[in-house]
Structure 1
């Protein structure tokens, strides 16, 4: 199983070039070793700039990007990934995702291009995002290269039990986006109660829960040094805390694949 550093830094929505580059640099110098971007985010260039400016060797950074759903035809995957590398200022990415199985995505046409990029060393690992178990099975049947991760929305109000089981069975990682519920963790009473017990924030409790779930790597978004540091400092949850979270009886999905909130 490919080890994916956790937590990672999510960069969705961070389109201000100077701020994005500064955030990436700060995160890496604080100890993050996993940076997640995408063609869709329109920030690959400043992400690459932040990596170049950080006092951290490139080979220690696990860099991930994703191919835009409109770019998932075979030749477009090859061409646009090379453009992504140019923007990122690197010869390879550590992880390359199919961003969403929609629009130009066609498993038989799309996935061989990902195999090609893996064979050429342009993508050290390949992955998918927002895939169901059925779509994962189809992709695994077509690909020669292992799928090392499935990036999905995951947090205490969307616990992804079925995909957790699938990840364990197939020795892959669930990379959890929106892990701090887009900043609304403090609206969940159970998280507030546990946070008070540990003298931390509800956001830190959400990340603490994800950190103890097998085969999961959260990628919280943050910009300021204070929040970046807090996301690295989460408490150890006891069995009572975990049970309280895992028995939350409501579910809420925050990201709409048909809307502007794409990750």
Structure 2
């Protein structure tokens, strides 16, 4: 498994996304993924599944320094005191002494960004999170965060897949040496049924989902966190790492329409 080095942490490039998985289903999925060799688990306060992931991690018995755990603070909890309360609750549910990466899940129109990062930096200084970062930040918000506040963010986690162009944000992050973590990397299943991607899959004796995932992981500075509750899907995603795409494949994917943003709630920022 390749890793991305960022702000003192080593981030496995393929992780397990856990959005919309809860309770026993989530616990079983995390236990299965860890048994298969996954070492990057992504969760969030809002997913309401940290209390299932904690026992799964404990049961796996993996050395803590071999495991990467990301969680996130919800956009309604971005006041300094609220961040601390949310963080304490997350850590307790996860049954961990620290997390590897703590993200602002979504920007908020009412947030005081310098105060947010001051609080996150204190959590980092206290050793309770090894690194801090953001999710769903636009180019404008990234520039404020990185250039004005000078926050040492380890990543920006955003929606990214074969059907959505994120080149503006990616080019900026690349220039700053900051990784991008792709969520919805399979376009919520749409990539698996796209004729162009399916055709590439047939050529390589692979699935369209594996092609879409490898297309992301072939890119410099990109990690991906596909959600997969079934062991078979988790293994198929791992097997995507063995796939070799050629220039013809990349050209065909580049020609796909790139305007399908699937995650844009009412509180989302004005996208670049």
TM-score by length of 2: 0.91
Given that residues 52 and 58 in structure 1 are in contact (C-alpha distance below 8 angstroms), is that contact kept between their aligned partners in structure 2? no
Cα offset, 1:18, TM superposition: 1.0
Given that residues 17 and 41 in structure 2 are in contact (C-alpha distance below 8 angstroms), is that contact kept between their aligned partners in structure 1? yes
Question: Structure 2, unaligned stretches of length 5 or more?
Answer: 268-272
Matched, 1:239 2:247: yes
- Aligned residue for 2:87, secondary structure, equals helix
- Partner in structure 2 of residue 172 of structure 1: 178
- Partner in structure 1 of residue 158 of structure 2: 152
Given that residues 67 and 98 in structure 1 are in contact (C-alpha distance below 8 angstroms), is that contact kept between their aligned partners in structure 2? yes
Matches within 5 A, 1:167-206: 167-206=173-212
RMSD: 1.6
Matches within 5 A, 1:1-263: 1-2=5-6, 3-15=10-22, 17-102=23-108, 104-141=110-147, 143=149, 145-234=151-240, 235-258=243-266
- Partner in structure 1 of residue 270 of structure 2: none
Q: Are residues 133 and 194 of structure 1, via their aligned partners in 2, closer, same or farther at CA, if it must alter by over 3 Å?
A: same
Q: For 1:225 and 1:89, locate their aligned partners in 2 and report how far apart those are by CA, in whole Å.
A: 24
Cα offset, 1:178, TM superposition: 0.2
Q: For 2:251 and 2:11, locate their aligned partners in 1 and report how far apart those are by CA, in whole Å.
A: 26
Q: For 2:165 and 2:200, locate their aligned partners in 1 and report how far apart those are by CA, in whole Å.
A: 17
Question: Structure 1, unaligned stretches of length 5 or more?
Answer: none
